[in-house]
C-alpha cells in the first residue's frame, strides 16, 4: 500500500517538474512577472503626485532586456503616458523628489519623466520609441505636453529568461 502511494507521488513529482520546465521554456521565469506585478502595485501610489490638470492617456509596463543581446539582465518599467497643458518645468517640479519602494522594500526608486517632443535620443534600453509609435495620432497632434512618468528597475539578473535577451 505504501509503495503504491510512493509511486503515485513520484509520478506527480516528475510530471509537475516537467510542466514547470515547459512553462519556463515557453513562458519565462515567473519571478520576473512577480517583480513586474510588485512594481506595478507600488507605482499605483504615485497618483497623489500627478499635476491636477494632467490626463492619463495610457498605462504601460515592460519586462525585457537592454537592446544588446547577451546582456544577461532584465529591466522592468511601469509608467503612464500623460498629457498636460503645464510647462515642462512645472511637470518636472510636480514629480521631483518623489519615489516608490524598491522591489525589496528597503530602497527607493525615483520617479522619472521623459517628454515625447525631445526626439528619440533616448537610450534604447526601454521601449520608449515603440510606445510613442503606438500612440494614436490624436495624441501626437495635441498642443498639450505629452510625457511619460515611470519607474524602472535596471539590471536584474535574467535567470535564463528569453524575454530579457532582446
pLDDT tens column, 113-159: 988 776 555 555 567 777 777 776 667 677 889 999 999 998 888 88
The domain containing residue 82 runs over which residues? Answer: 28-164
Across the beta sheet with 73-84, the strand order is 55-64, 73-84, 145-157, 112-115
How many domains, the chain? 1
Residue 32 within any structural domain of the chain: yes
State residue 117's pLDDT score.
74
Residue 38 within any structural domain of the chain: yes
Residue 2 within any structural domain of the chain: no
Positive/negative CA dihedral, 128, 133, 135, 140: positive
Residue 1 within any structural domain of the chain: no
State residue 39's pLDDT score.
96
Residue 96 within any structural domain of the chain: yes
Residue 16 within any structural domain of the chain: no
Region 81-96: mean pLDDT is 94
Amino acid at each position: 500500500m505504501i509503495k503504491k502511494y510512493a509511486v503515485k507521488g513520484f509520478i506527480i513529482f516528475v510530471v509537475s517538474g516537467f510542466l514547470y520546465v515547459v512553462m519556463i521554456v515557453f513562458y519565462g521565469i515567473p519571478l520576473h512577472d512577480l517583480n513586474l506585478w510588485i512594481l506595478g502595485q507600488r507605482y499605483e501610489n504615485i497618483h497623489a503626485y500627478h499635476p491636477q490638470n494632467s490626463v492619463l492617456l495610457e498605462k504601460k509596463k515592460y519586462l525585457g532586456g537592454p537592446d544588446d543581446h547577451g546582456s544577461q539582465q532584465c529591466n522592468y518599467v511601469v509608467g503612464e503616458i500623460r498629457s498636460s497643458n503645464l510647462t515642462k518645468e512645472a511637470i518636472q517640479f510636480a514629480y521631483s523628489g518623489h519615489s516608490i519602494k524598491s522591489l525589496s522594500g528597503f530602497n527607493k526608486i525615483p520617479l522619472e519623466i521623459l517628454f515625447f517632443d525631445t526626439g528619440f535620443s533616448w537610450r534604447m534600453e526601454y521601449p520608449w520609441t515603440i510606445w510613442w509609435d503606438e500612440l494614436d495620432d490624436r495624441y501626437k497632434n495635441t498642443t498639450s505636453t505629452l510625457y511619460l512618468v515611470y519607474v524602472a528597475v535596471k539590471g536584474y539578473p535574467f535567470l535564463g529568461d528569453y524575454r530579457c535577451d532582446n
